[in-house]
Amino acid sequence: MRRIAAVIAGGALAATLVACGPAPADGNLSQEPPAPTASAPSSAPSSQRPDATETTPTKPSTSKPTTSKPKKTAPAVLLKAGDKGEDVRDLQVRLREISWYVGTISGSYDDATVEAVRGFQAKRGLPETGKLDRTTWKRLTEMTSEPTHDQKHNVLKPGKAILKEGSTGDQVKELQARLKQIGWFAEDVTGMYGQVTVSAVKGFQEKREIPVTGEVDQRTWDRLVAMTRTPTQEELDNKPAEPKQPGALDKRCLTGRVMCVDKSTSTLSWVVDGKVVKVMDARFGCQGMETREGVFQVGWKSRNHTSTDYNTWMPYAMFFSGGQAVHYSPDFAARGYNGCSHGCVNIRDKAGITWLFDQVQVGDKVVVHW
C-alpha cells in the first residue's frame, strides 16, 4: 500500500529531522561572534585595584524543577470511514483472508469495513476504534499475504480442475454428499461425475460468485467444505441417517464455556463444562449467505447494535466470525422459520438472549455444526 507506506516513512523522516535539528545556513555550528584577540598592555595604569571587584553570592534556588508529563496521543490513523481507493481494497482483501470481512471488495471504507476492523481489533486487545492505525495494520500484515491485483478487483479466474465430468471415486462421492447436504444435489450418491453433478456444481458456483465451469477447482472445493460437514458413511451409502439422540452434544461443545449452535435441530445451547444450561430456538442464514460452520470465539459484543448495511436492528449481538453474530431477531420472533438471516444466528427468545448476553464473555467458544 503505497500511501500507507508513505505515511509511515514520512513519520520516520520527521522523527529524524527532529532528532538531528536543522543546521545553520552557512554550515557553522555557532552563530556567536568570534572572541576578541588579546590586545597589547596599556601604558596607563588602572585606577582600580585588582581586588576592588565584589561578587555577591547567589542563593541556591529552593523551587523544584517543573516536569511536564508527556501527553498520551491517539495512534495516527491511516484509513477511516469514508476513505476510498486501492489502500482500502488492500485492507478488505486482507480482512477477508482471515474471515473478518465478507463480501465484494469495494475499495470503499464503509460500515462493513468499520465493523470488520473493529472486530479484528477487539480480538487482539487493541483499541476498538474501527479505524486503521499503524498498530492494527502491523498486526494484520503479519497475519496475511500480499493481495494480488485480481483479488483487489474481484477478478475471478477458474483454477485447475481437481474433479470434473468423467471423474469417479470416493472424492466424487464426498462431493455429491456435501452438495446434497445444502440442497444442490438430489440424486443418489454414485461416485460418478455426470451431467447431474455438473449442473449441481454450476449452481453452487454461480450462487457464490465463483467462475461457473461445472468443474471443481480448489476455490470451489474449499468453499463447499467450509459450508458443509464431513459426510457420514450412511450418507455416502445412501442409507437413512439414524435419528439424533435428544440432548446429544457435539464433542467440541463439551469443554469450557460454549455457545453450541446445532443446525440440524435449529437450536443454540449454552453449555458450561459439558452441562447444558439453556437451550433456545435458532435461525440461520439464507441460501448464498449461509452461517459459517466451525469453531470460533466471541470477538466482541454490542448490546444495542444496528447493522447499517441492512438497516436491521440486531440487539444483544455477540460477534464470532467477521460480521456474523448471535443476536435477538424481532423478525424471527414474528415470522418464525418463514424467514432467514444474512448469515447471523437469530434468536427469538428475547428474555433468553438478554440473559445469555450477560453470561457470555469475549473469548468464549462458539461451535456451529450440523
- Catalytic positions: 327, 344
Q: Cα–Cα distances in Å, from 274 out to 42, 117, 269, 297?
A: 105, 33, 11, 17
How many CB atoms are closer than 10 A to CB 112? Answer: 22
First to last CA, the chain: 41
Range 348-352 contact pairs with CB under 8 angstroms and sequence separation of 24 or more: 348/280, 348/281, 348/283, 349/280, 349/281, 352/278, 352/280
b/e sequence 35-46, b meaning 16+ C-beta within 10 Å: eeeeeeeeeeee
The C-alpha cell 483487489 sits at 152
Sequence-distant (≥ 6) Cβ neighbours of residue 356 within 8 angstroms: 259, 270, 278, 280, 316, 326, 347
Beta bridge partners of 272: 257, 275
